[in-house]
Structure 1
C-alpha cells in the first residue's frame, strides 16, 4: 500500500491545459489512492449586468459546461483504472472552500496547481497558495509548470542551521516524505542543504576570539557535519548529497533547473512577524522554481 490512500485535487476548470490533473492521476496510479477532484468556479461579475432571470440561466449553463468538462476528465482517469469522484461548485472564497473540502474529505495530500501572482500584487495581497501553506492541515503538493507527471527526480531540502528538536523533527519528516514518494514513483532522491551564513548571523554567534573568516569556516563545517549525519541516517548515496553555499531560494531554484528536478520536498512552519508579511522560503520557492513543491 502506498503512503497516499486519499488524494484531493483542487482545480480551476477554466485552465483546461493545466498539468494538475495528469499529475494527480499519476500519483493516484502509483499509490493506488482514490482521487476526488473539486472544480471551484469563481463567480462571473459580468453576469450581474443581466436581468435576474437571464442571470440565473446563464449561471446554470456556465456551471454545467464546466461540470461536463470535469466529468469527461474524470471518466478518462477511470478508464486508466483510477477510482475517481468529481464535483463542480461556485466559490466566492477560495481559501475557505478549499479548507472546508480538506476537512470534509480528510485527504492524505492536497494537490493544486501553483497560482502565480505578480510581485506588485504580492506586495499588497497575500497569495492564495501562501494562505494554504500556512493554514492547510495536510501536506500540499503544488504542481509547477514543468516536470514529469510521475516524478523521476526528487530533492528533499532540509535546514541544519539550528539544532532544535522541532527543526530536527521537521527535517526527518521532510526526508521521510521525500523517500516514500521516491520509492512509490521509482524516482531518484537527492538531499540538499543551502548554507547561507550571513554577517548578521555571525555577529550574534560570538567567536571566542576567532577571526570572522575562521568562524565562518567553523560554522559551515558544523552545518555540513549535521547534514552528513542526516544523509547517513537515511542512507542517501554520496553523489546525491548536495551542500551548497548561498541563499535557499536561489540555490533551490538553480539546482532544480540544472538537475531537472521534478519535485522539491520542503517544510512549512506557521509564519509570524516579518515572515508573515514577506513570505517564507517555501512560499518564495513557488515563484522561483518551475518544478512542483511538496510542502510538509
Structure 2
C-alpha cells in the first residue's frame, strides 16, 4: 500500500487568505494528500513593543498566536468538508527559514506550497528574500503560487535544458518532465515541454568548435541548432511527449519563459534547480527571474530530491 502524500502550506503571519490556500486545497484534493497548514508568526511591531513588563509582552505574543491558530482552523473547516485531511499549526519564531527547514526534517513533505512574496528590487538587492533562501536550501519540491487563474492548474509547462546538466545529475531533465506529467495527470491538465536556448551563453568548446571566430558562422550556427534539436527531441521522445507538445524557442531563457507563459495562459511552470554549492544554477533561468518575473506560479524541483 502506497504512503499517503503530505503537503505543507506556509501561511502568511498576517492572517490573509491568499491564492496559495486555494491551490493547496485543490492539489491536496486531486492527489489525495494530507495538508498541513503552518504559520510562522513574527510581527516586528509586537516583538519590539518596548513594554517594560516582559510577562505582558509574552501574553500578547501568545494571544496573537492563538488567534492565528483559530483563524487557520476556520480556513481548514471547508477543506475538511470536501474530504481533505487538514492539520494546522501557528508558532512564534523570529527566523522562519530555520523553523521551516526543521519542520521539513521532522515531518517529511512531498511538496511545500507558499504564496510568492513580491519584494521590491531594492529590497532584493539589499536582503535575500525568504523565498530565495528556500530555493537555496530546500530539496523538497517548492510550489510558489502567484497570479493564479485557476485553483487547479489547467496548463503546465516543463522547462528543460537538455544540453546543460551536471554529470552527477544525469536524467534530471527527465525528472522535471516526469514531475510535470504526473501533476498534469492528477489535475487533468495539459502539459507541454519548453526548451529556451540562448546561444550567447554557450561557448564554442561545448560543441567541439576550436575557433571562436567560426562559432557564429551560418554553418556552425546550423550545426549547433541541429545538436540541440536532436537532444531535445530525444528527451521528449523517451518521455512520451508528442511533437505538438514540444517547443524549442531561441532567446534569453527568462524572457522566453515569461513571454510564453503570458501568451499561452500557463498556470504552472515546472523547473529544476541544481545547487551543488548553493544556488549557483537554475536550469533555464535564475532565481530572481523565476520568482519575480514569471506571470504564473512556479514549481521548483531540486536535483537532490529523490524521485517519487
Match of 1:38 in 2: 38
**Cα distance 1:179–1:200, how it changes in 2: closer, same or farther (>3 A)?**
closer
Deviation, structure 1 residue 38: 0.5
Of stretches 98-107 and 8-17 in structure 1, the one that deviates more from structure 2 is 8-17
Match of 1:152 in 2: 154
The equivalences for 1:52-131 within 5 A come to 52=53, 53-131=55-133
Query: Partners of 2:300 and 2:154 in 1: how far apart?
Result: 18
**Cα distance 1:80–1:2, how it changes in 2: closer, same or farther (>3 A)?**
farther
Paired residues of 1:40 and 1:94 also in contact (CA < 8 A) = yes
Query: Partners of 1:224 and 1:165 in 2: how far apart?
Result: 20
Secondary structure of 1:184's counterpart equals: helix
Unpaired runs of 5+ residues, structure 2, are 302-308
* Equivalent position to 2:227, from 217, 222, 228: 222
Cα deviation digits, residues 19-55 of structure 1 (max 9, x gap): 1111110011000011111011113334522342432
> TM-score, normalization: structure 1?
0.90
Match of 1:178 in 2: 180
Match of 2:253 in 1: 248
Query: Partners of 2:108 and 2:26 in 1: how far apart?
Result: 20
Of stretches 235-244 and 173-182 in structure 1, the one that deviates more from structure 2 is 235-244
Of stretches 77-86 and 62-71 in structure 1, the one that deviates more from structure 2 is 62-71
Deviation, structure 1 residue 71: 0.7
Deviation, structure 1 residue 289: 0.6
Of stretches 238-247 and 43-52 in structure 1, the one that deviates more from structure 2 is 43-52
Query: Partners of 2:3 and 2:195 in 1: how far apart?
Result: 25
Deviation, structure 1 residue 138: 1.3
Query: Partners of 1:181 and 1:234 in 2: how far apart?
Result: 15
Match of 1:188 in 2: 190
Of stretches 145-154 and 2-11 in structure 1, the one that deviates more from structure 2 is 2-11
Match of 2:286 in 1: 281
Match of 1:28 in 2: 28
Paired residues of 1:3 and 1:31 also in contact (CA < 8 A) = no
**Cα distance 1:233–1:4, how it changes in 2: closer, same or farther (>3 A)?**
farther
Of stretches 218-227 and 143-152 in structure 1, the one that deviates more from structure 2 is 143-152
Paired residues of 1:202 and 1:216 also in contact (CA < 8 A) = no
Unpaired runs of 5+ residues, structure 1, are none
Paired residues of 2:161 and 2:195 also in contact (CA < 8 A) = yes
Match of 2:216 in 1: 212
Of stretches 263-272 and 68-77 in structure 1, the one that deviates more from structure 2 is 263-272
Of stretches 158-167 and 182-191 in structure 1, the one that deviates more from structure 2 is 158-167
Structure number with the higher helix fraction is: 1
**Cα distance 1:114–1:161, how it changes in 2: closer, same or farther (>3 A)?**
same
Match of 1:258 in 2: 263
> TM-score, normalization: structure 2?
0.87
